Amino acid sequence: MASVALSLDNKVALITGGSRGIGAETVRLFTAAGARVAFSFRQARERAETLVLDCGGPSRCVAIEQDLTNPADGRALVAGAVRSFGRLDILVVNHGIWPSDDAPIADMTEQQWRGTMSVNLDSVFGLVQAAVAQMDRQERPGPDEACGHIVLISSTAGQRGEAFHADYAVTKGALISLTKSLSTELAPRGIRVNCVAPGWVTTEMSAAALGHPELGPKIAAGIPVGRAGTPREIAGPVLFLCTPWAGFISGEVLNVNGGAVLVG
C-alpha cells in the first residue's frame, strides 16, 4: 500500500521570523518535507546558524539577517531568498511583534502604534508584493497546479480583538482581510493565499503570560483543549497548506487554537 506524504520536493520557501518559536519549527518541517528554505532573523544569529546546520546546511537552508519594519525591507528579503536558491515557490509570513505590557487605548503611545503597524503590516506589503512578482515570472507547472503559495500568520486576536492590545489585534485582523483580498486576486493566476490563526502557543513571546501564576491558569481555562499549543502544532498546518493536498484551498482562515476562538 502506497504511503501518503506531505512533500515539498523541489520547492523553495521563504519563512520570516524563522530563528525561533513557530518560525523555527516551520523551517524544520519544511526542510524535512524536502524544501530548500530561506528564513529571516533579526537578532538571534547563533540560533539561526544552529538551525541552518540542523536542517542540512547552506545547500538546504539559509538564514538572512533582515529588519522587517517597512515595505523596502520586505522586498529586500525576498530578493535575498531568490539570490540564495534561484526561485521562490512559498512565502510564509510568520514574523510579528506583540507588545506584552497592557496598553489601554487612551494611554497607548503613537510610537507603539506605529511600531506595531510597521513590523506587522508595512513589511508584509513589501514581502507579498515582491513574492507575487517573482512567482508570476516563474513557469507554471500545470493548468491545475499552484505555482505559488502564500501563508499569512494571523491570530485569534485578529478575529475577536484583544483588550489592551488593540495595535496587535488590528494588524492580525488586517492580515485576514489581506488573505481574502489576495485570494480573489491571485487564485486565477495559480497563487494560493491562505491564513493560519493560532491562539496561545508556548513560545518565548508568550512565556511571561503563560507562566504567570494567576494569568496562566486563566488562559488555559479559556482553551477548550485545556492548554496552549506547541510551535509544531502550528507549523504542521502551515506545511499542509503549501502542499498539493491543499491545492483547492484558497482564501481560508485555518484556526489552530484548541477551539479558543469559539468561546472567547
For residue 248, the domain's CATH number is: 3.40.50.720
pLDDT above 90 covers a percentage of the chain that reads 78
Q: With contact defined as beta carbons under 8 Å apart, do 87 and 33 qualify?
A: no
- pLDDT computed for residue 264 by the predictor: 58
- Give per-residue pLDDT as tens, 84-111: 999 999 999 999 998 878 899 999 999 9
The mean pLDDT value for 45-51 works out to 96
pLDDT at position 213 is 86
Residue 248 covered by a domain: yes
Q: Give residue for cell 508570476.
A: 136
As to burial, measured by CB atoms within 10 angstroms (0-12 exposed, 13-18 middle, 19+ buried), residue 242 is buried
Q: Is 209 helix (H, G, I), strand (E, B) or coil?
A: helix
Number of C-beta neighbours around residue 53 at 10 A: 10
Would 75 be classed as within a structural domain? yes
* From 30, 41, 98, 168, the catalytic residue: 168
Q: Catalytic site residue 168? A: yes
The C-alpha cell at 171 is 494588524
**Strand locations in 120-237 (E):** 148-153, 191-198
87 part of a folded domain: yes
Looking only at the bridges linking them, the beta strands covering 191-198 and 61-65 are unpaired
pTM beyond 0.75? yes
Is-contact 200 215, C-beta < 8 A?
no
Asked, for residue 67, whether it belongs to a domain, the answer is yes
Lowest mean pLDDT among 37-41, 126-130, 140-144, 167-171: 140-144
Number of domains forming the structure of the chain: 1
pLDDT at 143: 67
| 137 CB neighbour count, 10 Å cutoff | 10
Mean pLDDT of 28-44: 97
Q: Which domain holds residue 71?
A: 12-201+231-258
User: Looking at residue 215, what is its pLDDT?
Assistant: 84
Query: Per the domain annotation, does 145 fall within a domain?
Result: yes
pLDDT averaged over every residue in the chain: 93
- Does residue 216 belong to any structural domain of this protein? no
What average pLDDT does the segment 8-16 reach?
97
Indicate whether 240 pLDDT > 90: yes
Residue 86's pLDDT is 97
Domain assignment present for 217: no
Q: Look at residue 263 and tell me if it is in a domain.
A: no
Percent of the chain with pLDDT over 70: 98
Count of C-beta atoms within a 10 Å radius of residue 235 = 25
**How many whole angstroms separate alpha carbon 134 and alpha carbon 81?**
11
Cβ-based neighbours of 27, under 8 Å, separated by 6 or more = 15, 18, 37, 39, 51, 55, 61
